[in-house]
Amino acid sequence: MAEPSSDWSLRTRCIHVGNEIDPATGAVVPPIHLASTFRQQRAGEWGEYDYSRSGNPTRTALQTTLASIEGGCGALAFGSGMAAIHAVTMLLQTGDHLLAGSDLYGGAYRLFHQICDRAGLGVSLVDMTDLDAVAAAIRPETKLIWAESIGNPRLSIPNLPELARLAGQCGAWLGVDNTFGTPALIRPLELGVDIVMHSATKYLGGHSDLVGGTLAVADPELYRRLYFIQNATGAILDPFSCFLVSRGLKTLDLRVRAQSQTALALALWLQEHPRVERVMYPGLSDHPGHAMATQLMGGHYGGMVTFQIAGDLAQTAKVCEATRLFHLAVSLGAVESLIEQPATMSHASYGAADRARFGITDGLIRLSVGLESFDDLRNDLQAAFTAAGL
């Protein structure tokens, strides 16, 4: 087996880096190390591994792959995406200010407003696509700017290189949730971002069969601080889930490209539908982030599509409940397509006023496009519109 090569493509790294042949057996898939503890040579002398919260070979394998595909110096695998975001917020201290994007996953909104504020952090939200508004919202005590590479649920696209410049000017870290974007489409560390985060539950795992989160960074000192937080607080990903993420990563690039193509075709079809008022998909030329997405993501726009129907909360729920192939479920990024109503599901933890303020309307529907065929998914949606009387 060749040594990892710096010119390997992302697809090759996903398969080979961190997945080296097992020297003991020649197995082409590394074994899963379930041991919680490791025998030491002498009291007080630590080897590479001593206790699985501090380090585990299966977690190391996954983290090696992740660091390589993100372009980072190191990565950390957590028990969930929320645990990964929480670890980042633990870099801050009482009195610091966290400035987050207003197109934000509901769980992050809840963490910031109901946990971080109790720890004495100031929290405010701003439209990350409006650089003047971001500059105006930065305070002397701003220590973390948190954005999503593709916002949730409106699929807004921030200018990450410019945000990195603003964060650098004020001495804050820029953290980016790249769950919707995936390293297959966008690698924020290469754009000057300090911390990239994923809910590995979604595209990285890709099969709706694990919950996990990841962080990757380019600065060794920042890595050391985050590793300390993870080891001290303990929110690690278990070995079997690490294995599942490693396995999912091998097909990440193929999956995301195929899902992006089907999502674009569905977005174009929805745009022409008489009962659809508005489609939000960065691949559509009328999306406000289309040019930025094309620049940053090179012609693929991801597998998430959000649209607004001409109907109230109940009718919207009926559409979501009537599909057969699109499962009515939160989460996203897997091989099976999912449908949900942000106002009552993924973004239910927003206060009503913030939902209204940030455009999370009653008629909004969010799709996670899987790997089924376009024709089957389109027919499924049409049948659901008909069943809902639209």
Ligand X SMILES: Cc1ncc(COP(=O)(O)O)c(C=O)c1O
Q: Which sequence positions are flagged as catalytic?
A: 53, 105, 177, 202
Of 76-84, 121-129, 186-194, 301-309, the segment contacting ligand X by CB under 6 A is 76-84
Q: Select the residue interacting with ligand X from 101, 153, 158, 213 (CB under 6 A).
A: 213
Q: Select the residue interacting with ligand X from 56, 68, 199, 337 (CB under 6 A).
A: 199
DSSP states along 211-239 = --EEEEES-HHHHHHHHHHHHHH--BPPH
Cα 62 from chain centroid (whole Å)? 16
Applying CB under 6 A, does 177 fall inside the site for ligand X? yes
Helix (H, G, I), strand (E, B) or coil at 191: helix
Q: Select the residue interacting with ligand X from 19, 56, 80, 129 (CB under 6 A).
A: 80
Applying CB under 6 A, does 102 fall inside the site for ligand X? no
CA distances from 94 to 91, 119, 123, 144, 316 (A): 10, 6, 11, 13, 42
Q: Which is nearer to ligand X, 49 or 127 (CB)?
A: 127
Token pair 């193509």 is found at: 261
- Write down the least CB distance from residue 333 to ligand X, Å: 8
Query: Of the candidates 347, 375, 350, 253, which has an alpha carbon nearest to the alpha carbon of residue 303?
Result: 253
Q: Which is nearer to ligand X, 127 or 177 (CB)?
A: 177
Applying CB under 6 A, does 211 fall inside the site for ligand X? yes
Q: Select the residue interacting with ligand X from 62, 82, 121, 325 (CB under 6 A).
A: 82
Applying CB under 6 A, does 105 fall inside the site for ligand X? yes
Asked if 346 contacts 153 with a C-beta cutoff of 8 angstroms, the reply is: yes
- Return the residue nearest ligand X (CB atom): 81
- Write down the least CB distance from residue 148 to ligand X, Å: 6
Of residues 321 through 380, those in contact with ligand X by CB under 6 A are 331
Token pair 């820029």 is found at: 174
Q: Which is nearer to ligand X, 350 or 385 (CB)?
A: 350
Applying CB under 6 A, does 152 fall inside the site for ligand X? yes
Applying CB under 6 A, does 179 fall inside the site for ligand X? yes
Nearest 5°: phi and psi at 250?
A: -60, -25
Of 80-88, 272-280, 283-291, 380-388, the segment contacting ligand X by CB under 6 A is 80-88
331's torsion region: left (phi>0), alpha (psi -120 to 50) or beta?
left
Of 90-98, 164-172, 177-185, 223-231, the segment contacting ligand X by CB under 6 A is 177-185
Residues 135-165: b if buried by 16+ CB within 10 A, e if exposed: eebbeeebbbbbbbbbbbbbbbbbbbeebbe
Of 139-147, 176-184, 220-228, 287-295, the segment contacting ligand X by CB under 6 A is 176-184
Applying CB under 6 A, does 302 fall inside the site for ligand X? no
DSSP states along 141-162 = TEEEEEEESS-TTT-----HHH
Q: Which is nearer to ligand X, 181 or 311 (CB)?
A: 181
Applying CB under 6 A, does 153 fall inside the site for ligand X? no
CA distances from 302 to 28, 141, 152, 260, 295 (A): 31, 35, 12, 5, 14
- Write down the least CB distance from residue 261 to ligand X, Å: 21
- Distance between CA atoms of 213 and 157, rounded to whole angstroms? 22
Query: Of the candidates 176, 91, 200, 216, which has an alpha carbon nearest to the alpha carbon of residue 142?
Result: 91
Applying CB under 6 A, does 81 fall inside the site for ligand X? yes
Query: Of the candidates 302, 357, 341, 35, which has an alpha carbon nearest to the alpha carbon of residue 180?
Result: 302
Query: Of the candidates 81, 267, 106, 261, which has an alpha carbon nearest to the alpha carbon of residue 184?
Result: 261
Q: Which is nearer to ligand X, 10 or 84 (CB)?
A: 84
Q: Which is nearer to ligand X, 338 or 388 (CB)?
A: 338
- Write down the least CB distance from residue 237 to ligand X, Å: 10
| Residue count, binding to ligand X (CB under 6 A) | 15
- Binding residues (CB under 6 A) for ligand X: these are 80-82, 105, 107, 148, 152, 177, 179-180, 199, 201, 211, 213, 331
